[in-house]
Amino acid sequence: MNKRVFLDNAATTPIAPEIIELISDMMKTHFANPSSIHSYGRESKIIVESARKTIANLLNTSPGSIFFTSGGTEADNMAIKCAIHDHKITHAITSKLSHHAVLYPLEDLASDGKIKLSYIDIDENGTICLSHLKKLLKNNERTFVSIMHANNEIGTIQPLKEIGDICKEYNAIFHSDTVQTMAHFKFDMRELNVDFMAASAHKFHGPKGIGFVYISEDIQIKPLLRGGGQERNMRAGTENIYGIAAMAKAMEMAYENLEEETIYIKGLKKYMIDKLKSEIDDVQFYGKCTDLEDSLYTVLSCNFPEKDNSEMLMFNLDIKGVACSGGSACSSGSSKGSHVLTEIVPNSMRPGVRFSFSKYNTKEDIDFTIKKLKELFG
């Protein structure tokens, strides 16, 4: 089989072998519904609550603040729709760089006339303007603020603590999509004024279809999904016990080895930056993604000179064995292009690529990718 490399870890990560083994073993022994009161059910319930406690301990919060969902998208929608409805919020603030799981539900609420939606100013790197946030909060009714911790396309990190402190000052509800940073950065919820956070297991070597929403004990909402009384009446639906246990284990493994793996992945990122600069003419980087200390260390977002077949770059890299993500601010045909890049570099036709790394990547993967890029741009 021809060699292939996977550099699309911001989209999803390979499931860790230990997690696959855990899921496989559990499926053989634990199949009962956690809501059942018999011994089989109670055993499943113990697994769910043990996982909740593990995650809560890792975030320095109480287990009562962790609610399991199907992933980050559900967690974001739950926070946005329920908080705005239940707290009678009429104004919301977000960034135009937000993930569509945040933008679309907020835009829907705005188009339905339920909220006024304001977009916070950003600089050329995608960093939000804190003074503009204060101005928007000061001049409006109680507000729902949604700012993602790290952008999934260009890796820009927002100052979570500062935003939370400002929101608390103005009695705003603060939600952050932390899907890209959960289990990649440390969080101490006793120190952060964040009301909602979203997470998804498949971003840190767990399975797909499972995530959680953190909800501050200071915030009360009604459930988004109605039905059974699961998740303490906060999220109906039979719990995905295999996914829940696997997510807790994957998160535990990530934090046990966080420092070592962070250093390793930053090393890969720096190696690729240096290789791109030295071997590919006119490569350019988005935002602050070349700053190893002030960007999402798993993401390297760049663009290349425009050529006749620029729109085929992702296809050509895939054919050559390199899996990554890409796009440009403007694309012809049916593609709308990247909404993030459109805000950062409007009217650019240069093909953009997002390379994203995990602990399973190697320098040999980088060398292979550079070789294939040179074949396309040499």
Residue closest to 72 by CA, chosen among 181, 195, 162, 216: 181
Confidence band, pLDDT 50/70/90 cuts, at residue 88: very high
| 330 pLDDT tier (thresholds 50, 70, 90) | very low
Question: What is the reported pLDDT for 233?
Answer: 85
Its sign, for the CA torsion 197, 202, 207, 209, is: positive
Residues near 303 by Cβ (< 8 Å), separated by ≥ 6? Answer: 283, 284, 285, 286, 328, 345, 348, 350, 351, 352, 353
Look at residue 311 in the predicted model and tell me its pLDDT: 76
pLDDT of residue 348: 78
Residue 277 pLDDT: 96
Confidence grade of residue 169 (pLDDT, cut at 50, 70, 90): very high
pLDDT at residue 366, as a whole number? 98
Mean pLDDT over residues 17-43, rounded?
96
Does residue 82 carry a catalytic annotation?
Answer: no
The hierarchical CATH code for the domain 31-256 is 3.40.640.10
**Checking DSSP bridges between strand 211-215 and strand 66-69, what pairing results, if any?**
antiparallel
Pairing state of beta strands 322-323 and 211-215?
unpaired
Pairing of strands 91-94, 143-146: parallel
Task: Report the range of poorest mean pLDDT among 11-15, 138-142, 168-172, 328-332.
Answer: 328-332
Residues 6+ apart with CB under 8 A from 236: 223, 225, 226, 227, 228, 229, 230
Domain 5-14+257-377: homologous superfamily in CATH:
Aspartate Aminotransferase, domain 1 (3.90.1150.10)
Q: Model pTM?
A: 0.94
Higher-confidence residue of 333 and 65: namely 65
H/E element, 213: strand 211-215
91, 97, 99, 105: CA torsion to nearest 10: 30
**Alpha helices, DSSP H, located in 60-118:** 72-86, 100-111
Average pLDDT over residues 361-369: 98
| Residue 5 predicted with pLDDT over 50 | yes
Q: What is the mean pLDDT of residues 111-139?
A: 97
Question: Mean pLDDT for the chain?
Answer: 94
Domain ranges in the chain are 5-14+257-377, 31-256
Q: Are 83 and 173 in contact (CB under 8 A)?
A: yes
Q: Which residues of 143-179 are buried (b: 16+ CB within 10 A; e: fewer)?
A: bbbbbbbbbbbbbbbbebeebbebbeeeebbbbbbbb
Do domains 5-14+257-377 and 31-256 share one topology? The answer is no
What are the φ/ψ torsions at residue 211 (nearest 5 degrees)?
Answer: -160, -165
Q: In Å, how far are 137, 145, 148, 261 from 93, measured between CA atoms?
A: 9, 5, 12, 34
Residue type, 240: N
The answer on pLDDT for 328 being more than 70 is: no
pLDDT in tens, 171-229: 999 999 999 999 999 999 999 999 999 999 999 999 999 999 999 999 999 999 999 88
The pLDDT of residue 345: 84
Q: What DSSP state is assigned to residue 16?
A: P
Cα gap 161→165, rounded to integer Å = 6
Helical residues (DSSP H) of 60-178, grouped into ranges: 72-86, 100-111, 130-138, 160-169
Task: Decide: 266 and 259 in contact? Cβ < 8 Å.
Answer: no
Share of the chain above pLDDT 70, in %: 97
Q: What is the pLDDT of residues 221-266, one digit of tens each?
A: 999 999 988 998 899 999 999 999 999 999 999 999 999 999 999 9
Res. 331: pLDDT tops 60: no
Please tell me the predicted confidence (pLDDT) of residue 344: 83
pLDDT for 336 equals: 65
Res. 324: pLDDT tops 60: yes
Structure-block tokens of residue 12: 């999803």
Which of 82, 129, 167, 330 is catalytic? The answer is 330
pLDDT for residue 100 is more than 50: yes
Please, are residues 358 and 264 in contact by the beta-carbon 8 Å criterion?
no
Regarding predicted confidence, which is higher, 195 or 335? 195
Q: Residue 206 to residues 145, 245, 246: CA-CA distances in angstroms?
A: 29, 10, 6
The per-residue pLDDT for 372 is 96
